[in-house]
């Protein structure tokens, strides 16, 4: 299918694909097994300018948007959804600065992120604040020229590895979600420490850990937007990164499909390749249909968002739900087609099936996404 | 420091079409790539530039289409790309090629370091680098796996040998040919690719570089290629069967009869 990418988008996609095939695919199984963070891979992305695809050229990026970010995530995820997350998680931590940062904050942080010298992370989730983000307990109390942060953030992607954290904390308990604020916290700030690295089912090359704030003093100029804007910062950010999760899911699904198709042509049973059996053919056809449909939705959603239109929550949620459900289905079927080989850790598809699962869960479970979609639908119909 | 890197367009596969009359490769039809060893030469040139400053120029003698490949080198940090192309250059052997390249390089002006890949994957002669140094009257070192030090008028490098390496010092200007152990070529950057897209490769013909056409191309090539073909590798295996004892006996007989071993 011709997606009419611009010449620059085509370049970005091809270069990301080359790095995925030549550098990520050969190490994906090992990094998954060892839970190894892909510092070396980030170096390749940085040197080829891919770290800054979604950052304004004023700050050293390539001036693209959500679409360019998604193209990179998709290609990297085709080889490994976990390794891709070092890049995608940085996008999640960076969008609050892109969307709400002051000129000073942008000048201070974006050039290093665009150059791949620094990674970022986004810290919203807590033990009691998941789907119900309003349950945040971490506090930020103003004290002279500082805010003092206390509390613990949980399951933070790129935690411990990232240099720059955007953190949502409560500045006014009485105001509920309107009492949250967003802050930039640099690694190395006294009072910020990291908990143990989580032992996960999938995306194991990605670092996930707790962020522990104990009287962590950060300068007031690290407040993003205004006090009380934290929830909005988080929601507007997630609207732009959910297509990234969708792209990750799309990449994982594509990788699994490619493996299954190749295997089906090579594997012989009853004296012929299993790709000659209609049962397998129909599975392959269904997988391809779903992937192509997901790609259409993800790409078009990215274009919709990058056009600067205001209402994007529903579309972003739809792309995320559809692509992640597709990834789960396609990876499961890929394991099925590959049979016993598919189930073995020597081959990459069982890992893809484990990696796919998280895309239905994080950045808002698919159940929460459906809430978002339904609420928007009802709101829209009332407006009409 | 002015660094010149010589590159060659080669077919992307080892299965190529041969012009039956001249017994040379038909370069128009095969998928063309930059000789893989030259990629290491380009990377080393760019690294030297990044370390000590200066500029990197790639130069190639080839068909007009080679310009497209040269243009791509801009994306990995090359500053200028020059293509020497002329009907008079066609059918050149290594002698004529190095003469033509030497004339092109002289035309470029001052140079400090010339880097070539150790050999091209199509001809595999490994002659052009050293021959070019002779034509230019400068020293050379082949099979360089590391540049230990480089500064104005001086280079010290490691030359790979079968069982280790030699450390070689030379005054500059000089020619080195490099092996793949020397570095890992970088990926092009997107900004580099955008720059490459707009770049125009400098095209020079025999007249531009003041070359004597009797020394170029087929005219200047004493080599005559009688036949070129892709070798067929046929390895015949003979399975020795039987019990372990029987197999050992048969194997020993075989080795003796083929005179690989001798009985005392």
Q: What is the mean pLDDT of residues B8-27?
A: 72
- Residue range A121-131, pLDDT digits in tens: 999 999 999 88
Tell me the C-alpha distance between B173 and B155, whole Å: 9
CATH H-level superfamily of A121-230: Butyryl-CoA Dehydrogenase, subunit A, domain 2 (2.40.110.10)
Residue B16 has pLDDT above 70, yes or no: no
Q: Which domain holds residue B186?
A: 2-215
- Residue range A73-95, pLDDT digits in tens: 999 999 999 999 999 999 999 99
Cross-chain Cβ contact A53/B190 below 8 Å: yes
The nearest alpha carbon in chain B to A22 belongs to B187
| Domain annotation covers residue B28 | yes
Residue A49 has pLDDT above 80, yes or no: yes
| CATH number of B173's domain | 3.40.50.620
pLDDT interval class at B14 (50, 70, 90): low
**Boundaries of every domain in chain A:** 7-119, 121-230, 235-383
- Residue range A216-262, pLDDT digits in tens: 999 999 999 999 999 999 999 999 999 999 999 999 999 999 999 99
* Of A361 and B217, the one with more pLDDT: A361
pLDDT interval class at A117 (50, 70, 90): very high
Residue B30 has pLDDT above 70, yes or no: no
Tell me the C-alpha distance between A179 and A169, whole Å: 9
Chain B residues near residue A15 by CB distance under 8 angstroms: 187-188, 190, 193
Residue B24 has pLDDT above 80, yes or no: no
| Domain annotation covers residue B22 | yes
pLDDT (0 to 100) of residue B232: 78
| Domain annotation covers residue B244 | no
Residue A51 has pLDDT above 80, yes or no: yes
Residue B73 has pLDDT above 70, yes or no: yes
pLDDT (0 to 100) of residue B31: 78
| Domain annotation covers residue B241 | no
- Residue range B108-148, pLDDT digits in tens: 999 999 999 998 887 778 888 899 999 999 999 999 999 99
Residue B15 has pLDDT above 90, yes or no: no
Helices (H), chain B: 36-52, 66-73, 94-108, 128-136, 190-198, 244-257
Residues 6-45 of A with CB under 8 A from B: 7-8, 11-12, 15, 18-19, 44
The nearest alpha carbon in chain A to B76 belongs to A48
* Interface residues of chain B, partner chain A, Cβ below 8 Å: 186-194, 197
Tell me the C-alpha distance between A119 and B168, whole Å: 42
pLDDT interval class at B236 (50, 70, 90): confident
Chain B residues near residue A53 by CB distance under 8 angstroms: 190
Chain B residues near residue A47 by CB distance under 8 angstroms: 186-187, 189
pLDDT (0 to 100) of residue B122: 76
pLDDT (0 to 100) of residue A35: 96
pLDDT interval class at B237 (50, 70, 90): confident
Residue A123, φ and ψ in degrees, nearest 5: -120, 100
* Of A364 and B125, the one with more pLDDT: A364
pLDDT interval class at B27 (50, 70, 90): low
Cross-chain Cβ contact B187/A11 below 8 Å: no
* CATH number, domain A235-383: 1.20.140.10
Residue B44 has pLDDT above 70, yes or no: yes
Q: What is the mean pLDDT of residues A372-379?
A: 96
**Average pLDDT across chain B, whole number:** 90
Residue A351 has pLDDT above 90, yes or no: yes
pLDDT (0 to 100) of residue A32: 97
Residue A22 has pLDDT above 80, yes or no: yes
Closest CA–CA distance from residue B189 to any residue of chain A (Å) = 4
Chain A residues near residue B191 by CB distance under 8 angstroms: 49, 62
Cα-Cα-Cα-Cα torsion A339, A344, A348, A354, nearest 10 degrees, comes to: 90
Contact A218, A189 (CB under 8 A): yes
Which residues, in sequence order, are CB contacts of B253 under 8 Å at separation 6+? none
pLDDT (0 to 100) of residue A186: 98
Report CA-CA distances (Å) from B138 to B42, B86, B154.
20, 26, 13
**Residues of A forming the active site:** 363
Tell me the C-alpha distance between A342 and A347, whole Å: 6
Nearest alpha carbon to residue A90 among A151, A14, A28, A161: A161
Write out the two tokens for B182: 């020397």
Q: What is the mean pLDDT of residues B62-80?
A: 94
- Residue range A150-187, pLDDT digits in tens: 999 999 999 999 999 999 999 999 998 899 999 999 99
CATH for A7-119 (1.50.10.10, 1.10.540.10, 1.10.1740.10, 3.40.50.300)? 1.10.540.10
pLDDT interval class at A111 (50, 70, 90): very high
Residue A280 has pLDDT above 70, yes or no: yes
Give percent of chain A with pLDDT exceeding 90: 96
Q: Which of A18, A44, A49 sits opposite B190 (nearest CB)?
A: A49
Note whether A69 contacts B: Cβ–Cβ < 8 A.
no
Q: What is the mean pLDDT of residues B241-259?
A: 91
Instruction: Give me the half-sphere count of Cα atoms (radius 13 Å) on the Cβ side of residue A241.
Output: 25
pLDDT (0 to 100) of residue B119: 87
- Total structural domains in chain B? 1
pLDDT (0 to 100) of residue A176: 87
Residue B71 has pLDDT above 90, yes or no: yes
């Amino acid at each position: 299918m011709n997606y009419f990418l611009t010449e620059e988008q085509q370049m970005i996609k091809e270069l990301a694909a080359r790095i995925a095939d030549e550098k990520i695919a050969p190490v994906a199984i090992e990094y998954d097994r060892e839970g190894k963070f892909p510092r070396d891979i980030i170096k390749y992305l940085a040197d080829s300018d891919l770290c800054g695809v979604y950052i304004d050229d004023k700050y050293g990026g390539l001036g693209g948007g959500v679409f360019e970010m998604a193209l990179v995530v998709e290609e990297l995820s085709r080889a490994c959804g976990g390794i891709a997350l070092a890049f995608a998680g940085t996008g999640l931590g960076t969008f609050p600065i892109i969307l709400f940062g002051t000129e000073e904050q942008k000048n201070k942080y974006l050039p290093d992120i665009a150059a791949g010298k620094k990674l970022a992370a986004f810290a919203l989730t807590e033990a009691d604040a998941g789907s119900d983000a309003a349950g945040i307990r971490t506090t930020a109390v103003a004290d002279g020229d500082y805010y003092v942060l206390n509390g613990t953030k949980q399951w933070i992607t790129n935690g411990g590895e990232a240099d720059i954290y955007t953190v949502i904390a409560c500045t006014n308990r009485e105001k509920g979600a309107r009492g949250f604020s967003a802050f930039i916290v640099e690694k190395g700030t006294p009072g910020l420490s990291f908990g143990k690295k989580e032992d996960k089912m999938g995306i194991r090359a990605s670092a996930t850990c707790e962020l522990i704030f104990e009287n962590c003093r950060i300068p007031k100029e690290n407040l993003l937007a205004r006090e009380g804007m934290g929830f909005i910062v988080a929601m507007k950010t997630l609207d732009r990164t959910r297509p990234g999760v969708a792209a990750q899911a799309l990449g994982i699904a594509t990788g699994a499909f490619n493996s299954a198709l190749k295997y089906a042509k090579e594997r012989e049973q009853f004296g012929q390749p299993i790709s000659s059996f209609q049962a397998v053919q129909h599975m392959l056809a269904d997988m391809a249909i779903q992937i192509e449909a997901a790609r259409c939705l993800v790409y078009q959603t990215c274009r919709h968002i990058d056009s600067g239109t205001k209402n994007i929550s529903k579309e972003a949620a739809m792309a995320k739900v559809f692509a992640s459900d597709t990834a789960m289905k396609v990876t499961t079927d890929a394991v099925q087609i590959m049979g016993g080989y598919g189930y073995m850790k020597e081959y990459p598809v069982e890992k893809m099936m484990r990696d796919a699962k998280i895309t239905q869960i994080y950045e808002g479970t698919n159940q929460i996404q459906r809430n978002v979609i339904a609420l928007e639908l009802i709101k829209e119909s009332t407006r009409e | 420091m002015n660094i010149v890197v010589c590159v060659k367009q080669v077919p992307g596969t080892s299965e190529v079409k041969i012009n039956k009359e001249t017994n040379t490769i038909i370069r128009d039809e095969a998928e063309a790539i930059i000789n893989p060893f030259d990629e290491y030469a380009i990377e080393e040139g760019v690294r030297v530039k990044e370390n000590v400053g200066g500029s990197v120029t790639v130069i190639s003698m080839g068909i007009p289409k080679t310009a497209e490949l040269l243009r791509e080198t801009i994306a990995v940090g090359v500053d200028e790309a020059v293509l020497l192309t002329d009907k008079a250059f066609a059918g050149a052997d290594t002698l004529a090629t190095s003469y033509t390249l030497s004339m092109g390089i002289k035309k470029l002006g001052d140079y400090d370091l010339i880097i070539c890949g150790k050999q091209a994957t199509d001809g595999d002669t490994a002659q052009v680098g050293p021959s070019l140094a002779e034509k230019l009257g400068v020293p050379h070192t082949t099979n360089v796996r590391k540049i230990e030090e480089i500064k104005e008028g001086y280079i010290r490098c490691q030359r790979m040998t079968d069982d280790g390496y030699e450390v070689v010092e030379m005054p500059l200007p000089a020619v080195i040919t490099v092996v793949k152990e020397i570095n890992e070529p970088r990926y092009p950057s997107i900004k580099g690719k955008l720059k490459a897209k707009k770049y125009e490769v400098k095209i020079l013909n025999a007249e531009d570089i003041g070359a004597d056409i009797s020394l170029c191309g087929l005219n200047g090539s004493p080599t005559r290629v009688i036949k070129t073909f892709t070798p067929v590798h046929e390895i015949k295996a003979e399975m020795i069967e039987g019990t372990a004892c029987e197999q050992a006996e048969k194997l020993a007989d075989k080795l003796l009869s083929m005179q690989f071993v001798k009985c005392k």
